[in-house]
Amino acid sequence: MPLLDALARFNDAHPWSHNAHFHPWLMRQLPRRFDRAVDVGCGSGDLARLLATRARQVHGIDVDERIIDRARESTGPDLPVTFSVADALSYDEGAPYDVITCVAVLHHLPLTETLTRFRQQLAPGGTLVVVGLTREDTRVQTLLGLASVPLNLVTGWVKNRGRTAPRPVAMTAPTRPADVPYTEFAREVRRILPGARLRRRLFWRCTIVWKKVRGDVDPGRL
């Protein structure tokens, strides 16, 4: 369709990271200072570096070797951030963590297993923040998606000051479409992370914030 082609061409010429857009919101969900954090599926490391402004130690992990090389290249030696090539379901770098973040990665992973692992790896009193993508299956998502189309154009134009631009490094990380429908996603989030704050958002995203209470049971026994 000519209109859709024109929209796609405009968006390609004025790119901006829908994931980084959530970083300020994400940081507002976290304590002023915390000890250890892990960013799962860290891509080029923008969020890991931001977390390092408040953490004693941040670890970024990603399965993609090339993107971890880029993350390392972009990180000064003065920052308390380390990166490793590792799988979200098998890395073991000294959990528990006070903060776990996971932005635009959960749809690459098996949902139930990953949420269970996050719950196990979070320290009591710790905070998990997820920005996720799901398959659209609710009216609210359809409306938010429609509203996002013009907002996406305006944001791309404003962020690029009206000029065409190359894709930011963060947008070179591997992507894939989401296939779990939101309704199923929400059911699993509520089952595995009781009391989690789950929201559908603009720009085709949803968010989860979960704080682990002290005395939380091991979800392996749920």
Ligand X SMILES: C[S@@+](CC[C@H](N)C(=O)[O-])C[C@H]1O[C@@H](n2cnc3c(N)ncnc32)[C@H](O)[C@@H]1O
Q: Provide the CB-side half-sphere exposure for 136 (13 A, CA).
A: 13
Closest CA to 207 of 85, 112, 103: 103
Binding pattern for the stretch 57-86 against ligand X, x by CB under 6 A and - elsewhere: ----xxxx--x-------------------
Stretch that binds ligand X, among 71-79, 168-176, 193-201, 203-211 (CB under 6 A): 168-176
Please report whether residue 132 would count as binding ligand X according to CB under 6 A. no
Rank residues 104 and 122 by Cβ distance to ligand X and give the closer one: 104
Residue 116 Cβ vs ligand X, minimum distance, rounded to whole Å: 15
Please pick, from the candidates 174, 183, 187, 197, the single residue that binds ligand X as defined by CB under 6 A: 174
**Cα 7 to Cα 221: distance, rounded to the nearest angstrom:** 49
* End-to-end CA, the chain: 49
What contacts 182, CB < 8 A, 6 or more positions away?
134, 135, 136, 137, 138, 141, 200, 206
Site for ligand X in 142-161 (CB under 6 A): none
Name the helix (H) or strand (E) containing 105: none
Please report whether residue 180 would count as binding ligand X according to CB under 6 A. no
Stretch that binds ligand X, among 41-49, 154-162, 185-193, 203-211 (CB under 6 A): 41-49
What contacts 67, CB < 8 A, 6 or more positions away?
43, 44, 172, 173, 174
Torsion angle of C-alpha atoms 69, 70, 76, 79, degrees rounded to 10: -80
Please pick, from the candidates 41, 126, 132, 156, the single residue that binds ligand X as defined by CB under 6 A: 41
For residue 193, give both structure tokens.
């992370």
Please report whether residue 27 would count as binding ligand X according to CB under 6 A. no
Please report whether residue 48 would count as binding ligand X according to CB under 6 A. no
Please report whether residue 87 would count as binding ligand X according to CB under 6 A. yes
Please pick, from the candidates 53, 164, 175, 183, the single residue that binds ligand X as defined by CB under 6 A: 175
Binding site for ligand X (CB under 6 A): 19, 41-43, 61-64, 67, 87-88, 103-105, 108-109, 170, 173-175
